[in-house]
Structure 1
Amino acid sequence: MRPRRTDPGRRDRLIDVTLEVVAEVGVAGVSHRRVAARADVPLGSMTYHFDGMDELLHEAFTRFADRSAERFAEFLGAARDRDEAVAAVVDLVHELSDPRTDGERVVMYELYTLAARDPRYRAITTAWMARSRQELARHFDPQVTRRLDALIEGLSLHRALDDDPFDRALTEDAVRALVGAPGRTA
């Protein structure tokens, strides 16, 4: 009798691989077969670990949103004052729109598309936005926080999708104008 193979991290790996597949082919291209093959696990592992594709996608997008919120907290958590918080927001916009993060951005857009139609996925984005605003609120008042959260999304989207993306100076000017901080001195 062949010894049984143990793989305690398999479920987590399947979730991470699902995010990779979403980044490559979108939600419409995700299948149990494709995820299992990419993760190098038997197809039966999919139904062992997940009740269906919706559970797998929900888990994957929840993980994505949690990781994104953690990254947001890393950027803003290091800021000791308002000027450093402004600089952190500018850095965050440029990180989110960097071509090296194209896969993550595609996953984010796929999540937004699901959230537009399905309340279960909207709950993920709502929780994610709340966490982002909580980090911003450490440095800015509630009205500014809400507007700044939207500005980060919009600036990141425009920088990522524009053939001629704007530079850091424009981002910093926009953030400073929104938060009521004095302009740059150079």
Structure 2
Amino acid sequence: MTAVTTRPRRHDPARRDRIIDACLDVVAERGVAGTTHRRVAAAADVPLGSMTYHFAGMDDLLREAFGRFAQQAAAQFERRMAEAPDRDAAVRAVVRLITLDVFATQRDLVLSHELYTLAARDPAFRTLTNDWMRRSRDALARHFDPATCRVLDAFIEGMTIHRALDTEPHDDVDVLAAVRRLTGA
């Protein structure tokens, strides 16, 4: 009789989180269209079977990954606005969000645009973008009225996209002047 030896199960409590982080890395490098279970598993250094163990499918994984990305971006936005003790500081905080935070890296820019594209095509992903916008407006509401919050939120998105994609350099003084106009500061 041959003894059956079984390998001990590898305890890896961080595996799911590693997969989610690796998914974001793969999306940043290859786009959503180039993101596969195989590529994510390789980037996370996990067996391919872990993908289906932890996630119902690629949409489930993408929702988790983009949810994490949006959560982190919204938290940074909230921290920046919470640090502002008054309206003038809030105006400067909005400028710093635009000039330093929102697309701080090329990776952030690509991930944001990949999420926007998914949300434009698939309403299920709009819950992520809508939650992100709501949190941004709530953070702005510490210092500004609701109508100003909506305009500022749209301006922050638009201006950061223009600054990230334009081939000409931008002057932060222009951003400050625009935010002051929008807020009546």
Which of 162, 166, 178 pairs up with 1:174?
178
- How far does the alpha carbon of each residue in 1:77-130 deviate from its partner, in whole angstroms, 9 at most, with x for none? 1000001001100001012466x5110110000000011111110111001100
Residues 50 and 56 of structure 1 are in contact (CA less than 8 Å); yes or no, is this contact kept in structure 2? yes
Q: How does 1:127-166 map to 2 (within 5 A)?
A: 127-166=131-170
**Partner-residue secondary structure (3-state), 1:76:** helix
Residues 73 and 102 of structure 2 are in contact (CA less than 8 Å); yes or no, is this contact kept in structure 1? no
Asked whether 1:70 is paired with 2:75, we answer yes
The Cα shift of 1:74 comes to: 1.0
Number of matched pairs: 180
Counterpart Cα distance in 2 of 1:147 and 1:178: 8
Asked whether 1:126 is paired with 2:130, we answer yes
Counterpart Cα distance in 2 of 1:164 and 1:28: 30
**Partner-residue secondary structure (3-state), 2:170:** coil
* Residue number in structure 1 paired with 2:30: 25
* Residue number in structure 1 paired with 2:98: 93
Which of 14, 20, 37 pairs up with 2:42?
37
* Residue number in structure 2 paired with 1:3: 8
Identical pairs, percent? 60
Task: Flag the 1:61–1:97 CA change in 2: closer, same or farther, 3 A.
Answer: closer
Counterpart Cα distance in 2 of 1:121 and 1:96: 23
- How far does the alpha carbon of each residue in 1:148-180 deviate from its partner, in whole angstroms, 9 at most, with x for none? 000000110011001113111011001001000
Counterpart Cα distance in 2 of 1:95 and 1:105: 12
Residues 80 and 97 of structure 2 are in contact (CA less than 8 Å); yes or no, is this contact kept in structure 1? yes
* Residue number in structure 2 paired with 1:184: none
Counterpart Cα distance in 1 of 2:109 and 2:157: 11
* Residue number in structure 2 paired with 1:116: 120
Residues 95 and 101 of structure 1 are in contact (CA less than 8 Å); yes or no, is this contact kept in structure 2? no
Report the residue type matching 1:104 in the other structure.
D
Counterpart Cα distance in 1 of 2:9 and 2:121: 42
Counterpart Cα distance in 1 of 2:125 and 2:106: 21
* Residue number in structure 2 paired with 1:57: 62
Counterpart Cα distance in 2 of 1:22 and 1:139: 35
Which of 45, 53, 74 pairs up with 1:48?
53
Task: Flag the 1:158–1:97 CA change in 2: closer, same or farther, 3 A.
Answer: farther
Segments of structure 2 that go 5 or more residues without pairing to the other structure are: none
